[in-house]
Amino acid sequence: MKKLSLAFALCTFSLLLLAQTSLNHENEVLNLNKPDRVEWFRNLGFGMFIHFSFDSQLGVVISHSMAGASDDYLNRYIKELPKTFNPKEFDAHEIATLAKLAGMKYIVFTTKHHSGFCMWDTETTDFNISNTPYRNDLVAEYVEATRNAGLAVGFYFSPEDFNFLYENGLQVRRRFTAPIPNQIMNKYLELNELQMLELMAKYGDIDILFYDGGEGPLVEKCKQVAWELQPDVVVTRGAMQTPEQTLPGVTISDPWEANLTMGTQWAYKPADEDYKSGLRLLEILIETRAKGGNQLLNIGPKPNGEIPETQEDRLREIAAWNFINGEAIDATEPWIIPNEENIWFTWKPKEKCLYAFLTKQPQWPRGERREFVIRSAELSENSKVEVLGQSSELVEYMPDIDATTYFQQKEDGLHISCVRAQRIYNNHKWNNPIVLKITNCKPALIPPVVKTEDAEIIYSKGSSFIQFKGTIIKHDDEEKLTACFQYRPYAGFVEELYSDEWMETTNAAINDSSFVFKLPVQIKNVTYQYRALVKHPKASIFGEIKRIETK
């Protein structure tokens, strides 16, 4: 390990003393995020995640190939692989520009993943980018470019350090069956504190921190150091919900940030990668914002630093959509319900402005008029409805087509008639969601609230059933409601968001605000996702998504 400079050591010593005096109980989660900064973060809405490290040269899962690996593998991984890492084509300014075009307001970069390899010139370990052919401080380049683009700067940092475990004779793993010996644990804590001190002291104001792994004292120490040095930094993972590769089933009032990959892997995967379509990524972004969350969408640069072509293509498709519709996801809040079937909503309450995302409209020919009914919103005298990006004055090359957006409040809801007029691609096809902007409107109902209860397996006369349960917590008139459940086979941790298709049961009787449905088990040893569903005449309301395994 490198020797620390005297000034660095003295500063560190003082900080460690301060941290020791304010150490919270290890079973508590330290959260010193300032409320005003959290609101600032929530308004950002959309960010870019960058997973990048020296093992991208192999195209393997970042860091995790070390767990369970042989000594020979670990030795070559740690000592040999960094010698060929040279991301000379990493263009931080180009990446930041592309992120901004895509509507992203912040970037989070992996300063250190679980392997322990540092992407900055650190004094704490030789296992860092300065000891590669590249030699430069990639974190410094990223920070400068991101700030210059007017984007918020975020650091991903893993308190877990597989290289430290290996150097100290411990098995490389994420979960230990017995506590790490105190002498080694103290060194472990000190390493993380020193590295966090460097990151907080070397690069100016850091806006966002994402801690991954090392729950308990490791991550708590890191948060203490960060907040002592930079009180305005917003900690996401480690202080708020950060669902990974999934979305919550309901709107969440507290701050949260979903993080997901375009394909199946965080870091670069050169072979057999299965990418989500640009349309699917936009649908996920819309759902995230409709449910009150931020989305952190990942890219994994190639070993030379370039963005893989497919990932860049996805970002540019998102950029085109954002250029037209960005105001509908920027600084918005959830509406009274996230969606009515395939129409999703965001809301700007101060402006009384509702945005309606028209999803699942495949093959909408340019110049064709379609009709929609929104039942959860009610117009006022000064209301207007427009299609974002369109003037509603013409359809190019179609002079006989009326491009006007018509709207009328009727007893059963707000009726809207609009045309897809704008030409986005040469072939006139544009299957991505169109967005309606509805001004000066108000809610048309107080929606019920439904809870998905834990399901159970019931055995009866040689057969087995999944017994779903739901509870209506809040409602105006139970007689107006019907209830059922939706379910689907669980696709897996990585694959869950590739589809949003569900199967639906028949209606279940509502008794004292509760309802139950028994579904015969057709296939054993299958994990299902399920959720309760209550249908109001003006909206369908879902409960949280849960899972159960058949036996």
DSSP string, 247-302: --SS--SS-BEEEE-SSS-SS---SS--PPPHHHHHHHHHHHHHTT-EEEEEE---
Query: Could you give the count of Cα atoms lying within 13 Å of 336 in the half-sphere of its Cβ?
Result: 18
CA distance 266 to 59: 10
- Specify whether domain 45-325 bears CATH 3.20.20.80: yes
The b-or-e profile of 393-407 (16+ CB within 10 A means b, else e) is eebeeeeebbbebeb
Sheet of 46-50, strands arranged across = 234-235, 208-211, 152-157, 106-112, 46-50, 294-299, 257-260
Q: Are 82 and 135 in contact (CB under 8 A)?
A: no
Confidence (pLDDT) at 22:
42
CA distance 359 to 357: 6
CA distance 201 to 228: 11
Provide the residue type at 227 as one letter. W
From first to last of the 551 residues of the chain, give the pLDDT tens digit: 444 453 454 455 444 444 443 444 444 678 999 999 999 999 999 999 999 999 999 999 999 999 999 999 999 999 999 999 999 999 999 999 999 999 999 999 999 999 999 999 999 999 999 999 999 999 999 999 999 999 999 999 999 999 999 999 999 999 888 999 999 999 999 999 999 999 999 999 999 999 998 778 999 999 999 999 999 999 999 999 999 999 999 999 999 999 999 999 999 999 999 999 999 999 999 999 999 999 999 999 999 999 999 999 999 999 999 999 999 999 999 999 999 999 999 999 999 999 999 999 988 999 999 999 999 999 998 999 999 999 999 999 999 999 999 999 999 999 999 999 999 999 999 999 999 999 999 999 999 999 999 999 999 888 899 999 999 998 777 778 999 999 999 999 999 999 999 999 999 999 999 999 999 998 889 999 999 999 999 999 999 999 999 98
CA R_g for the chain: 26
Q: If you count DSSP H runs as helices and E runs as strands, how many of each does the chain have, helices first? A: 10, 25
Confidence (pLDDT) at 522:
87
Instruction: Specify the CATH superfamily of domain 449-549.
Output: Immunoglobulins (2.60.40.10)
Confidence (pLDDT) at 78:
98
Confidence (pLDDT) at 437:
98
Confidence (pLDDT) at 487:
98
Secondary structure of residue 161 in the 3-state scheme:
coil
User: Strand pairing of 463-474 and 449-452?
Assistant: antiparallel
Q: Are 194 and 124 in contact (CB under 8 A)?
A: yes
